[in-house]
């Protein structure tokens, strides 16, 4: 939520900030602003709407080598210029990502000293607090502020009397930093650092980065200088660009076969048998020997990947596996002990609820393993074990390649775990691994047929309501298909376990209502076909998705449209069927003329509760 950037160096700061904000815009896009040190003092420009609008407002006379920029996803206070960041109070100009939970109490106290905010934001209260504590010593003011602030924050702060210096501090919300010949840069996400350097560090919580054009000094709050742990990015700029595709989402859908291959490669050690190998990840078999229960927790699409992981693991391992929405799990009192393994799934590695679930699991003594895409993110750093997905940067708000890379990670874990637990022989695992290795190629075949999905999406474009139905793995995928469709097309949609429809929902199925029915699993195929007939009998417009070879029982007229994914073992069908659902959502959104990559009210990385 919210993208923040600071630049201090030898280039035109306002232009660098605008470029950075455009790259961070997926984190929030309701308003934006920058502040720069100029010869006239600190100048601020803000605007409601997208970064492009802010760029048009920038005065050319705003000459500066040092400034901060922010793109907002509103939490406290509506979308308006006055609520947009940067916020200023006295000596302090700052930008913030996070939520100050005790801002109300702080505001009251500050009001008693005559300070009255002009916005409705928690951030302005933080600026007021810092200004009240600042008497020329930034560290002293930050120490005082850290003592008083509750909640999550990443701040970039400029003090009016310290020209061309930016101070940064964080708790909970992310902040990464890099130095280069062009200058020093800090940002919420490494995507905005790529143009400067591939070497970066994550600012540790409660440490201060003092950013000048030549150096970034990292200090404890008492002033002790510390050396940050450097990390390397293995992507280049093109990984974070559209590369000829109209939208990031379409590009990322096409990148899935590669993302899966990259996620598989370091874990596929070819010996006599093809077994998953986690030695490079530092995950030993002991973790599996010592586990009698698995709990998977995550949010949104990552949670849907977890639903698939649950079915697979329970089926292959025969131990209890449950899936919990992280925002609920964190406020429950889960029964966990040292024999429980809690698996956290997150593309960004920064989702506040998933991070809180991780901390709770650790507190309860469970072992924790995270499946994360962003290297060095909070969830990755705080988990006992990390299995990185190598999907590359995912920019579109709608998650696609991260999802199928997360599935890949679950399949690898399930296969290894089942082998270690003696539930599958080396040969059986090897066969499964060959199947998984072939998934990329199967996905490419589906991508070649994207025009079919494009054409078919025309039939979905006018819909107001839409249903997805499926059983077992297909039900887990239906949930993902449904969130994808609703988040970018704004069509109301629901995913139903197909057998559950007749317990109430069937009353919503009337003439012409689209139903996307997934029937790729042989063991429940006949049951699915009966469910399809039930909705068909009520006049639904049925799009049926089956797998090559499973089509025998499909009678003429049972559906309006029929899509077929390539033949494979049934357990791999979710990968190929996922592409169909993603493309249907993508083209429907395009036909509806919507902002595919940045749908209304959403943000890519949800670092607030």
Which of the residues are catalytic?
2, 604
How many residues bind ligand M6R, per CB under 6 A?
16
Distance CA 598, CA 397 (A): 6
Please report where in the chains the tokens 């962003």 appear, as a residue. Answer: 374
CB of 8 to ligand M6R, least distance (A): 29
Please tell me what DSSP assigns to residue 358.
H
CB of 386 to ligand M6R, least distance (A): 14
Which region among 112-120, 246-254, 391-399, 557-565 touches ligand M6R (by CB under 6 A)?
A: 391-399
The site string for ligand M6R over 42-81 (x = CB under 6 A, - otherwise) reads ----------------------------------------
CB of 301 to ligand M6R, least distance (A): 3
Of 100 and 397, CB closest to ligand M6R: 397
Helices and strands, number each (H, E), in the chain = 19, 27
CA angle (346 as vertex; 344, 349 as ends), nearest 5: 100
Of 2 and 66, CB closest to ligand M6R: 2
- Considering only 347, 478, 493, 607, the residue that binds ligand M6R (CB under 6 A) is 347
CB of 410 to ligand M6R, least distance (A): 14
Q: Using only C-alpha atoms, what is the Rg of the chain?
A: 25
Distance (Å) of CA 24 to CA 84, 193, 216, 564? 16, 10, 21, 38
- Considering only 487, 493, 564, 577, the residue that binds ligand M6R (CB under 6 A) is 487
- Interaction between residue 348 and ligand M6R (CB under 6 A): yes
Which region among 6-14, 68-76, 85-93, 394-402 touches ligand M6R (by CB under 6 A)?
A: 394-402
Of 126 and 396, CB closest to ligand M6R: 396
Of 21 and 395, CB closest to ligand M6R: 395
Of 394 and 474, CB closest to ligand M6R: 394
> How many CB atoms within 10 Å of residue 555?
8
Contacts of 176 (CB under 8 A, 6+ apart): 186, 187, 188, 189, 190, 193, 200, 201, 202, 203, 376
CB of 541 to ligand M6R, least distance (A): 25
- Considering only 351, 383, 389, 546, the residue that binds ligand M6R (CB under 6 A) is 351
What six digits make up the tokens of 265?
A: 């490669």
Please tell me what DSSP assigns to residue 265.
G
Question: Residue number with the shortest CB distance to ligand M6R?
Answer: 300
CB of 122 to ligand M6R, least distance (A): 21
Of 160 and 325, CB closest to ligand M6R: 325
- Considering only 83, 173, 399, 588, the residue that binds ligand M6R (CB under 6 A) is 399
Q: Which of residues 77-106 bind ligand M6R (CB under 6 A)?
A: none
CB of 41 to ligand M6R, least distance (A): 39
Adjacency order of strands within the sheet including 340-346: 321-325, 293-298, 340-346, 367-372, 385-388
- Considering only 185, 442, 606, 608, the residue that binds ligand M6R (CB under 6 A) is 606
Of 93 and 368, CB closest to ligand M6R: 368
Pairing of strands 465-470, 514-519: parallel
Pairing of strands 176-180, 199-202: antiparallel
Distance CA 503, CA 211 (A): 60
**Ramachandran quadrant class, 57 (left: phi over 0; alpha: psi -120 to 50; beta: rest):** alpha
Which region among 175-183, 272-280, 346-354, 356-364 touches ligand M6R (by CB under 6 A)?
A: 346-354
> How many CB atoms within 10 Å of residue 114?
6
Query: Alpha helix (H) ranges present in 237-297?
Result: 248-254, 256-264, 286-289
HEC secondary structure over 383-449 = CCEEEECCCCCCCCCCCCHHHHHHHHHHHHHHHHHHHHCCCCCHHHHHHHHHHHHCHHHHHHHHHHC
CA angle (369 as vertex; 363, 373 as ends), nearest 5: 125
CB of 142 to ligand M6R, least distance (A): 28
Distance CA 142, CA 15 (A): 29
Which region among 125-133, 282-290, 397-405, 588-596 touches ligand M6R (by CB under 6 A)?
A: 397-405
Of 202 and 540, CB closest to ligand M6R: 202
- Considering only 397, 453, 498, 529, the residue that binds ligand M6R (CB under 6 A) is 397
The site string for ligand M6R over 272-311 (x = CB under 6 A, - otherwise) reads ---------------------------xxxx---------
Q: Give the CA count within 13 Å in the CB-facing half-sphere of 552.
A: 5
CA angle (209 as vertex; 50, 70 as ends), nearest 5: 10
> How many CB atoms within 10 Å of residue 430?
19
Q: Which of residues 424-483 bind ligand M6R (CB under 6 A)?
A: 483
- Considering only 32, 398, 412, 463, the residue that binds ligand M6R (CB under 6 A) is 398
Which region among 395-403, 440-448, 469-477, 579-587 touches ligand M6R (by CB under 6 A)?
A: 395-403
CB of 304 to ligand M6R, least distance (A): 8
Of 173 and 354, CB closest to ligand M6R: 354
Of 134 and 587, CB closest to ligand M6R: 587
What six digits make up the tokens of 519?
A: 């029937």
CB of 235 to ligand M6R, least distance (A): 17
Interface positions with ligand M6R (CB under 6 A): 299-302, 346-348, 351, 354, 397-399, 483, 487, 605-606
């Amino acid at each position: 939520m919210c993208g923040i950037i600071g630049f201090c160096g030898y280039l035109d700061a306002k232009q660098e900030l605008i470029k950075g904000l455009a790259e961070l815009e997926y984190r929030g896009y309701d308003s934006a602003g920058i502040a720069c040190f100029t010869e006239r003092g600190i100048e601020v420009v803000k605007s409601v709407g997208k970064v492009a609008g802010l760029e048009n407002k920038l005065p050319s006379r705003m000459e500066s080598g040092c400034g901060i920029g922010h793109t907002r996803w509103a939490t406290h206070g509506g979308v308006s210029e006055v609520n947009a960041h940067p916020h200023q109070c006295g000596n302090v100009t700052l930008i913030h990502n996070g939520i100050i939970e005790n801002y109300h109490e702080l505001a009251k106290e500050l009001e008693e000293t005559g300070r009255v905010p002009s916005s409705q934001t928690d951030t302005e209260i933080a600026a007021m607090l810092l200004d009240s504590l600042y008497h020329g010593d930034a560290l002293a003011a930050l120490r005082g502020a850290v003592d008083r602030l509750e909640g999550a924050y990443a701040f970039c702060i400029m003090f009016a009397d310290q020209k061309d210096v930016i101070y940064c501090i964080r708790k909970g919300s992310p902040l990464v930093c890099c130095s280069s010949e062009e200058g020093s840069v800090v940002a919420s996400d490494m995507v905005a650092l790529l143009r400067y350097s591939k070497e970066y560090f994550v600012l540790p919580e409660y440490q201060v980065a003092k950013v000048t054009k030549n150096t970034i000094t990292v200090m404890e709050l008492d002033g002790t200088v510390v050396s940050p742990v450097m990390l390397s990015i293995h992507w280049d700029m093109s990984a974070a660009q559209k590369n000829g595709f109209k939208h990031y989402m379409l590009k990322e859908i096409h990148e899935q076969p590669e993302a899966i291959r990259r996620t598989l490669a370091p874990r596929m050690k070819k010996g006599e048998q093809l077994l998953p190998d986690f030695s490079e990840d530092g995950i030993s078999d002991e973790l599996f020997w010592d586990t009698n229960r698995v709990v998977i927790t995550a949010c949104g699409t990552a949670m849907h990947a977890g639903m698939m992981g649950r079915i697979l693991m329970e089926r292959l391992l025969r131990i209890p596996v449950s899936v919990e929405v992280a925002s609920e799990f964190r406020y429950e009192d889960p029964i966990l002990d040292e024999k429980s393994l809690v698996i956290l799934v997150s593309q960004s590695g920064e989702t506040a609820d998933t991070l809180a679930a991780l901390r709770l699991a650790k507190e309860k003594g469970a072992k924790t393993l995270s499946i994360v895409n962003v290297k060095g993110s909070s969830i990755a750093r705080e988990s006992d074990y990390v299995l990185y997905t190598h999907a590359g940067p995912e920019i579109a708000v709608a998650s696609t390649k991260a999802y199928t890379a997360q599935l890949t990670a679950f399949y690898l874990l399930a296969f290894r775990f089942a082998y270690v637990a003696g539930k599958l022989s080396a040969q059986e695992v090897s066969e499964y691994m060959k199947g998984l290795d072939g998934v990329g190629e199967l996905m490419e075949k589906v991508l070649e047929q994207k025009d079919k999905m494009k054409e078919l999406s025309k039939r979905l474009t006018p819909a107001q309501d839409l249903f997805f139905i499926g059983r077992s793995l297909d039900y887990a995928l239906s949930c993902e298909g449904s969130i994808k469709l609703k988040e970018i097309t704004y069509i109301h949609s629901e995913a139903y376990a197909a057998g559950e429809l007749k317990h109430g929902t069937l009353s919503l199925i009337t003439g012409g209502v689209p139903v996307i029915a997934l029937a790729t699993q042989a063991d429940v195929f006949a049951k699915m076909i009966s469910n399809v007939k039930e909705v068909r009998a009520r006049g639904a417009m049925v799009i049926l998705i089956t797998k090559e070879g499973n089509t025998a029982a499909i009678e003429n007229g049972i559906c309006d449209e029929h899509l077929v994914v390539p033949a494979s073992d049934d357990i791999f069908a979710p990968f190929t069927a996922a592409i169909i659902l993603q493309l249907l959502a993508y083209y429907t959104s395009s036909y509806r003329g919507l902002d595919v990559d940045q749908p209304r009210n959403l943000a890519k990385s949800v670092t607030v509760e």
